[in-house]
Structure 1
Amino acid sequence: MPRSGFFRLLSAPGILLASASALVVPSDAIAEESRRELPPVTVDAPREKRASPARTQRTAARSTRARAPAIAPAQSTAASEGASVPGALTVLTAQQALSEINQTPGGVALVTAEAYRNSTPASTIKDVLDYVPGVFAQPKWGDDTRLSIRGSGLSRNFHLRGVQLYMDGIPINTADGYGDFQEIDPTAYKYVEVYKGANALQFGANSLGGAVNFVTPSGRDRFPNGVSFDVGSFGFRRLQANAGGANGPWDGFITASTQATDGFRDHSFGSGNRVSGNVGYQFSPDFETRFYLNANEVRQRIPGTVTKASALTNPEAAAPANVALDQQRNIDTVRLANKTTIRFDDTRFEFGAFGVDRHLMHPIFQWLDYRYKDYGGFAKVTDDRIIGGYRNRLVAGVNLLNGSIDNRQFANIGGQKGALLSSAIDRSKNTSIYVEDSFYLLPNVAAIAGTQFLHASRDRHVRVFGNGIQPGSTEFNLWSPKTGLLWDIDPTWQAFANISRSAEVPSFGESSNGGGGTPVIDFTRVRPQIATTYEIGTRMKRPDYAWEITAYRANIRDELQCLFGTSAAAGTGTCNVANLDRTIHQGIEAGAGAAIVRGIFDNGPTPDKLWLNVAYTLNDFRFDNDPNYRNNVLPGAPRHYLRGELLYKNPIGFYFGPNVEWVPQAYFVDNANTLKTEPYALLGLKAGFDDGGPFSAYIEGRNLTNKTYIASASIINQATPNSALFEPGSGRAVYTGMRYRW
């Protein structure tokens, strides 16, 4: 490729690969006042039975060979959760999960609850992922967020596409691929795993953005009981409590929260009640089963997108149509699942099943009444042994996700149901089979190869014709191969490279939102989005500094993109999604954390320090010689995105310092590159107490300069100055909270 492409990124202004210390990511847990080098660990929990001599010999041989170093990639955290009751097999500790995820030769991250839970309101997914490079998460209203990883789902103006969400390995996304954030409760998790792109092989390498897995604690974790209370600006308030414990082979954990907000904008008030829990039983130290429950009740008004002028001059105003139609997104969900883990000498076997009942009550331009029934299962085997004197790690599995959508659309009369306008049953089936092998050519160098096969089908049966919907069915059979190298330079430092493919199957939402309710292209004609990604990077975690830097280029064929084609509909913020020819997504994801000053007032064994955190993302997303848009920039994401903070941290647990969010260049909101957002910089400040013990408290100020800015935007093919595409960001806000756990 020409130098104007990928290699130009490596010499972009302000990006010095040789000076990674200038690109920083946040410290992992504010409670951890000193960063200690983490020893290598195994994923297995401690055993009680005596090992055979042969097994002891195998284990000793394996321990002399390189294990994945227990380092924190980017925003990831050290396992600062403290000691756990030994023996939980189905729920890994953060340290075990970190060792597991670091065996991926690509961009990954692990974020423990301590990284955000005790120092922010932890009200949206943005609070969780704010310091993970490559992730662009911006608030819209209530719990809703616009999430894009490596430019995924840029054209999806509603819900989520391009990133697969999981809760304890159980899909949050529907069977046809779209997701919502209302079911995510950031107070409920012990850690969150982020797999970028096709690095999410075990979850199915079928999305450009990868996968995010939210993991709840078990009753065997430290501090299973707790209560917290948070309040703040715009009427925000939340009460959360959790309880758990272990008794012999049994353990259990439950967490519940109730949350409400009046909202910064008009017509943006909402509330949510959420419960998550699990019960586990150990038949033996090597055999455990666990049952999961998750339930949500969310009621949320939608303020809507407005023109750029309205967003910047009157940011609190809602779109008039949203108020007139009393537009809302209300969700009731119940999720049940089981996961069982059996461990043999060198092999770990996991399997389970799940079912989800979801009811979406969604008055918008019409009154959408959708009922989802999703179900599926999974099985995974991990074999890690010495073969002919060489370590070999084999991971293989199968995922099944099927479901149906009973969708009925009514006329919306001031927020109330009117006449039935259309009705259909949409059925989706997805079966993925994957295998990945890591063969250690040297004690610290692994050659990795794998693939995934995805069989997916989409079938629509129309009961009441209307809104231009048509019956039909389509089927996909897709391969996603992967190869890579992982080099454990030392126990704290890794380098990696890979070439991988992702294959993203369209959902029923693609090409079904045409002007006047008439689709331009039938959904059966939409092709899957195929991306081949080249990736290289390195990550390190040491006591007083941690960093990662990753460069990637994705060559995409048939990217799912907004291609409505008429300016009359351009002002509505809706679009008809179809396939582009070829596009390019490339960029740099960089970050680090460093104690730039130590021993300011305390030079003891754990001195105080001034800790600098920065996460930086460079996005270069563009058309590739498109017949209509030539080499235009793809809309929907900023070229540069920076999050940073400077915290003074005292060993007694006190911390304070400023932070910044900076988008130095406006980004386009249409394919024709005619309309942009505005650049912005937001200043924040936080202070609090967290010594890793039972009690913690914080106070945080956001957007202290009361900057009027655009937080997120919908995209279309060609905009006008009056296109209603923009979501204003919130004004000055202050939040405070406290937590007690035991």
Structure 2
Amino acid sequence: MLSLCLACALSPVGAAVLDPVDRQAPAVEAPTLQPVVVEATRLRGVPAFETPASTATIPLGGENNGAGGDVSEVLRGVPGLLARDRRNLAQDTQLSIRGFGARSTFGVRGLRLYADGIPASMPDGQGQLSHFSLAGGDRIEVIRGPFSALHGNSSGGVVQIWSAEGAPGDPWRARAAAGSDDTWSAAAQLLGAGARVDYNLALSRYDTGGWRDHSAARRDTANLRLGVDLGPHRRLQLVVNRVDVPEARDPLGLTAQQMRDDPRQAVANAHLFDTRKTVRQDQAGATYEHGLGEAHTLRLMAYGGRREVMQVLPIPAVAQANPLSAGGVIDLDNRYDGLDARWSWQRGAARPLEITVGGNLDQQRQHRRGFENFVGEALGVRGALRRDERNSVDNADLYAQAWWRFAERWSLLAGVRRSEVRFESRDRYVTDANPDDSGRVRFSHTAPVAGLTFAPREDLRLYLSAGRGFETPTFNEMSYRADGGAGLAFGLRPAVSDNLELGAKWRGRGGATLEAALFRAETDDELAVARNVGGRSSFRNVGSARRQGFEAAWAAPLGAAWDLRLAYTRLDATFREPYLICQGAGCTVPDTEVGAGARIPGVPEQQLFARLQWRGAAWSAAFEGEATGEVMVNDLGTESAAGYGLLHLEAARRWRGRHGELRMFARIDNLLDRAHAGSVIVNEGNGRFYEPGGGRGWLLGAQWDWTR
């Protein structure tokens, strides 16, 4: 059926409207790689090739053949990074880097996220990917390893998306796709540039009936980037974005037996309580850069936003009879804002030097309420108030870094960041049986980082880097105490990690690239799930942990029309000390030991990605393979999600006309229809650890690029 649809879509009927691209591909010279500067390193004049850090840049150009509904589509193939599409917009993408962030049951923790230089992570470390606009994006940058610590709290890695700058001639784009499971998407990107102002407006909608039962969802995003040239060495950038998820159904996790019986099912409680989530976020930010002569630059950034979340959980009414229960409906209203100011200085000459000094202030104001999820016999509706608190978190950071080529073959990058993070909660739901749980706590940390790069040849760099980072508990991790008591878990401590990395980078003249790194992170006061019941997780510090391994990425052109990309990750993530955990839904006193050497759940030991692509003059095609090793789903290691390998196939054809280009594309995911666990819910208290990945699915789409 798919092949028939594709043949019709790419038939000569379309060719009657547009002239086909020449069928004979012209001779292609070996490409010359341009220097890539990763802006998240804060080094304006230093290419990524020269930095002693593992970085990756993923272009978001016009040849993406996915639906555009999930960031995981484009993050495949980055070594050390695991992006899992949960087939569940109520819980967002699972994202981890070198094992950091793997414990998150929803959202992103342990990593720093940015959109056009504006934080997409709250001051407490909780982040979301939902407002990343793939339709308007130019590229995504990823930093792994010690230098992530220069971004402050919860920086086990950094992921940043950049919108495309406006371009002269108003190159506009419209895109639509439809596929399996009543899934469709539509997007438009409007680019333009005048003498002083350029713009990028991107609008998109993603709608799906869901691969699993009770998983239908819709997400609307809008992103506007304006650039204003204010004169020599002065520029203002304005960014406004909005995301609206009006109602995303949550099918919840499955047990191993349920997944074997029917991976597309939703558990009974998902239907009984109509488990679902609503998200609305509006955000705006401005960045102003002012050059002072040829060497000095001042950069000021300010932002603010509001994120509203309502979620219905499947907590039985009998469990809410406890006077300390927070109910079964979560209502969160987050308001946040911040500013960042930095000064940079660059010196060229024989021994180039670049220095950056700055500071930032961020604040988050959260109104958290909990309601019963029933009214009388009606379930899944907002009932009586059971929790009402005003929470706030503020951080004040100072940072400095310098890059210096102090000898012909040697360069040094060093930096330090001082962070102060303050949490406060004011309890407004106080009864005779539920006391006042107000409180506050403050954390501080100094993060030093240094890296040395050696250039034995023009095409080779060897480097060694080390640093110390930290991760405070987020408000969501503080929200429920492991002992079952009311109020926030103010007894949690930040996890502190010492990171070490040894790496190599090679660039061949024909366009081939190779990057490899050995890494180790030793963590004290590791944060881990203490128990997970009814969709609510509580956390505790469990001592020391270690994440160590090897990663490599290779890319090379194979002749004029073929390209090959490979990425491999080997990760050994373990707890280094024994600790006690709760077993069973009613447990509040840990009584079961997890032995030293147990694997950290949610982290596969091995990942492999391969993509072979062919580009002709009019046609293109690609074959992808990805493999993931076994993943433990609980601390005790009594259950695991089996490893799997998937194959994907895509093809596209282009027609060029006088004013634009039409491109039609098709993709088949999971070509062999392999059953697998797409993601896992770590330590889920009911044993429903597994979120099945999608079976074989198809997608057909069209994209029209034109100049007004």
Normalised TM-score (structure 1): 0.81
Q: CA separation of 1:253/1:72 partners in 2, compared to 1, >3 Å: closer, same or farther?
A: closer
What is the DSSP-based 3-state SS (H/G/I as helix, E as strand, rest coil) of the residue aligned with 2:269? helix
Corresponding position of 1:426: 391
Cα deviation digits, residues 569-588 of structure 1 (max 9, x gap): 67x56442111211100111
Contact 1:559 1:580 in 2 (8 A): yes
Contact 2:87 2:694 in 1 (8 A): no
Aligned residues: 640
Corresponding position of 1:592: 554
Corresponding position of 2:15: none
Equivalent of 1:36 in 28, 31, 39: 31
Equivalent of 1:416 in 371, 377, 381: 381
Equivalent residue letter for 2:598:
N
Equivalent of 1:712 in 671, 674, 679: 679
Work out the CA distance in 2 between the residues paired with 1:458 and 1:190.
Answer: 36
Corresponding position of 1:646: 612
Contact 2:297 2:343 in 1 (8 A): yes
Work out the CA distance in 2 between the residues paired with 1:136 and 1:291.
Answer: 31
Work out the CA distance in 1 between the residues paired with 2:36 and 2:571.
Answer: 26
In the TM superposition, residue 209 of structure 1 has moved relative to its aligned partner by 2.5
1:310 paired to 2:277: no
Work out the CA distance in 1 between the residues paired with 2:668 and 2:121.
Answer: 33
What is the DSSP-based 3-state SS (H/G/I as helix, E as strand, rest coil) of the residue aligned with 1:681? strand
Work out the CA distance in 1 between the residues paired with 2:427 and 2:475.
Answer: 13
Corresponding position of 2:495: 529
Corresponding position of 1:453: 418
* Stretch of structure 1 that moved more, 333-342 or 491-500: 491-500
1:165 paired to 2:113: yes
Equivalent residue letter for 1:406:
H
Work out the CA distance in 2 between the residues paired with 1:561 and 1:417.
Answer: 31
Equivalent of 2:630 in 663, 666, 674: 666
Equivalent residue letter for 1:110:
T
Matches within 5 A, 1:437-448: 437-448=402-413
Corresponding position of 2:621: 656
Q: CA separation of 1:560/1:640 partners in 2, compared to 1, >3 Å: closer, same or farther?
A: same
Corresponding position of 2:569: 617
In the TM superposition, residue 97 of structure 1 has moved relative to its aligned partner by 7.7
In the TM superposition, residue 178 of structure 1 has moved relative to its aligned partner by 1.0
What is the DSSP-based 3-state SS (H/G/I as helix, E as strand, rest coil) of the residue aligned with 1:225? strand
In the TM superposition, residue 537 of structure 1 has moved relative to its aligned partner by 0.9
Corresponding position of 2:272: 324
Contact 1:401 1:431 in 2 (8 A): yes
Equivalent residue letter for 1:682:
L
Equivalent of 2:154 in 207, 213, 216: 207
In the TM superposition, residue 153 of structure 1 has moved relative to its aligned partner by 2.0
1:632 paired to 2:585: no
What is the DSSP-based 3-state SS (H/G/I as helix, E as strand, rest coil) of the residue aligned with 2:668? strand
Identity of aligned residues (%): 23
Equivalent of 2:429 in 456, 461, 464: 464
Cα deviation digits, residues 538-590 of structure 1 (max 9, x gap): 223333422211110001011111123xxxx67x5644211121110011111
Corresponding position of 2:663: 696
Contact 1:198 1:208 in 2 (8 A): no
Work out the CA distance in 1 between the residues paired with 2:170 and 2:58.
Answer: 18
Work out the CA distance in 1 between the residues paired with 2:462 and 2:520.
Answer: 17
Corresponding position of 2:333: 371
Corresponding position of 2:355: 394
Equivalent of 1:483 in 433, 450, 453: 450
Contact 2:507 2:514 in 1 (8 A): yes
Work out the CA distance in 1 between the residues paired with 2:608 and 2:94.
Answer: 17
Contact 2:370 2:388 in 1 (8 A): yes
Contact 2:125 2:153 in 1 (8 A): no
1:190 paired to 2:138: yes
Q: CA separation of 1:227/1:123 partners in 2, compared to 1, >3 Å: closer, same or farther?
A: same
Cα deviation digits, residues 662-714 of structure 1 (max 9, x gap): 12x42211111111111211121111236998443321101122111111111
Work out the CA distance in 2 between the residues paired with 1:529 and 1:31.
Answer: 56
Q: CA separation of 1:31/1:267 partners in 2, compared to 1, >3 Å: closer, same or farther?
A: farther
Equivalent residue letter for 2:443:
F
Q: CA separation of 1:557/1:691 partners in 2, compared to 1, >3 Å: closer, same or farther?
A: farther
In the TM superposition, residue 103 of structure 1 has moved relative to its aligned partner by 4.6
Equivalent residue letter for 1:724:
R
1:608 paired to 2:561: yes
Equivalent residue letter for 2:454:
W
Q: CA separation of 1:517/1:582 partners in 2, compared to 1, >3 Å: closer, same or farther?
A: closer
Equivalent residue letter for 1:147:
L
Q: CA separation of 1:515/1:585 partners in 2, compared to 1, >3 Å: closer, same or farther?
A: closer
In the TM superposition, residue 260 of structure 1 has moved relative to its aligned partner by 0.5
Work out the CA distance in 1 between the residues paired with 2:636 and 2:26.
Answer: 48
Contact 2:545 2:574 in 1 (8 A): yes
Corresponding position of 1:541: 507
- Unaligned segments of structure 2, at least 5 residues: 1-24, 316-327, 580-592
Corresponding position of 2:225: 278
1:507 paired to 2:474: yes
CA RMSD of aligned residues (A): 2.8
Contact 2:124 2:153 in 1 (8 A): no
Work out the CA distance in 2 between the residues paired with 1:701 and 1:99.
Answer: 40
Q: CA separation of 1:541/1:231 partners in 2, compared to 1, >3 Å: closer, same or farther?
A: farther
Q: Which structure exhibits the higher relative contact order, with contacts defined as CA atoms closer than 8 Å and separated by 6 or more residues?
A: 1
Contact 1:242 1:253 in 2 (8 A): yes
Work out the CA distance in 2 between the residues paired with 1:397 and 1:644.
Answer: 40
Work out the CA distance in 2 between the residues paired with 1:537 and 1:507.
Answer: 32
In the TM superposition, residue 382 of structure 1 has moved relative to its aligned partner by 2.2
Equivalent residue letter for 1:630:
A
1:248 paired to 2:195: yes
1:350 paired to 2:299: yes
What is the DSSP-based 3-state SS (H/G/I as helix, E as strand, rest coil) of the residue aligned with 2:99? coil
Contact 2:33 2:511 in 1 (8 A): no
Q: CA separation of 1:123/1:690 partners in 2, compared to 1, >3 Å: closer, same or farther?
A: farther
In the TM superposition, residue 723 of structure 1 has moved relative to its aligned partner by 0.8
Q: CA separation of 1:582/1:691 partners in 2, compared to 1, >3 Å: closer, same or farther?
A: farther
Corresponding position of 1:235: 182
In the TM superposition, residue 72 of structure 1 has moved relative to its aligned partner by 9.2
Work out the CA distance in 1 between the residues paired with 2:627 and 2:430.
Answer: 48
Q: CA separation of 1:33/1:626 partners in 2, compared to 1, >3 Å: closer, same or farther?
A: farther
Equivalent residue letter for 2:689:
L
Work out the CA distance in 2 between the residues paired with 1:506 and 1:645.
Answer: 38
- Unaligned segments of structure 1, at least 5 residues: 1-29, 40-69, 74-91, 599-606
Equivalent residue letter for 2:448:
P
In the TM superposition, residue 181 of structure 1 has moved relative to its aligned partner by 2.6
Q: CA separation of 1:516/1:319 partners in 2, compared to 1, >3 Å: closer, same or farther?
A: farther
